[in-house]
Amino acid sequence: MTWSNQFREVNPFKFFYIVCRDVIDAAERLLAFLAVTSLFIGGTGFFKTYMASVLLGIEPSMTICLAVFLVSFSVYTLDKLVDLDRDVSNMPARKQFLYSRRKIFMGLALSAYITAALIMVYVRPQALPLVFVPVIANAFYGMRLLPWLPRLKDIPVMKNVVVGSAWAVVTVLIPVLDGGYSSPWILVLYFIFIKTFIDTVLYDIRDLAGDRLSGVRTMPVILGEMPTVLLLLILNTTILPVSLLLPGDGRAIALALTLYGYAYIAYLRRRRNPVVLDLLVEGEWMMACAVLCLLNAA
């Protein structure tokens, strides 16, 4: 039987299904690699800074976005290296990948942070202290400030507050210092803070089983999944009036991101594939930038 006869005997629908399955599997492996290496979260920092600039009504600076990409990659890589033992229960594949390469990623993370600082010195020296906000916030989060006070780390939900605050400051205030603003920056700061806070809690829902075993008191562990989801929906609603107060194109973009927030909170109320979680939550800012570019090109 010739090759052409064999090809004709292949069910075209089955062939199409196999091709689609292979493409999806390859895309999933690529996203998993980007997530475990922190390149994906670095991209989130880049595009979140870009969109924050758009909401502020200023021209995004690719150099500033690159600096935030490097900071995001560095901070989250170092965080993953510190939490390798916890990843045994929550993300075993991540520990398996990083453990034998921890020295390489440590070097990459430190180099990325130094590069980000040098970029900021060259582009906007007065914004340099803001580059170190995530590291400083993480240090305060883990230390006891006064002998009679608990560590922030020991107070439930403070992790989400610290992470949300740190990244809101970095992604909003660095562009403000670099290019000014035409929208009220405090509104954009609150918008980014709430979005980031919600995202961190969604990851806590993903890690619920492991956190219970480890005794980590996150919001889902304390309240349960559905009360946590309800609270996230309420928080997302608080940025609805904020969106309406933004002028120009920022209003429509913020409204779209708010409505999208309702959708992925509802969908991610149950534990999902970690790759899907990364794509829907951290990929939100990338998709928003892509849509914005398409609209501007039309």
What is the distance between the alpha carbons of residues 188 and 250, in angstroms, rounded to a whole number?
Answer: 10
* pTM reported for the whole predicted model: 0.84
Asked if residue 49 lies in contact with residue 130, where contact means CB atoms within 8 angstroms, the answer is no
- Residue 61: DSSP 8-state: P
What is the distance between the alpha carbons of residues 52 and 254, in angstroms, rounded to a whole number?
Answer: 10
Asked if residue 81 lies in contact with residue 88, where contact means CB atoms within 8 angstroms, the answer is no
Q: What is the pLDDT of residue 64?
A: 94
Dihedral of alpha carbons 268, 272, 274, 278, sign:
negative
Q: What is the pLDDT of residue 91?
A: 59
Q: How far is CA 23 from CA 27, 36, 259, in A?
A: 6, 20, 30
Q: What is the pLDDT of residue 90?
A: 54
- Residue 127: DSSP 8-state: G
3-state DSSP assignment of residue 42? helix
Q: What is the pLDDT of residue 194?
A: 96
Cβ-defined contacts of 212-218 (< 8 Å, 24+): 213/89, 214/86, 214/89, 217/156, 218/156, 218/157, 218/159
What is the distance between the alpha carbons of residues 134 and 71, in angstroms, rounded to a whole number?
Answer: 8
- The candidate with the shortest Cα–Cα distance to 206, out of 264, 119, 120, is 264
- The candidate with the shortest Cα–Cα distance to 219, out of 190, 198, 237, is 198
Asked if residue 56 lies in contact with residue 249, where contact means CB atoms within 8 angstroms, the answer is no
Half-sphere exposure in the Cβ direction for 154 (13 Å, CA): 7
pLDDT in tens, the chain (298 residues): 454 555 455 566 666 667 667 666 776 676 766 677 778 888 999 999 999 999 998 889 999 999 999 999 998 888 777 765 555 455 566 666 666 677 787 888 899 999 999 999 999 899 899 999 988 888 777 676 666 667 777 778 888 999 999 999 999 999 998 776 666 899 999 999 999 999 999 988 888 887 788 778 889 989 988 999 999 999 999 999 999 988 878 889 999 999 999 999 998 877 767 777 888 888 899 999 988 888 777 6
Q: How far apart are the first and last CA of the chain?
A: 51
Q: Which two tokens stand for residue 183?
A: 């929208």
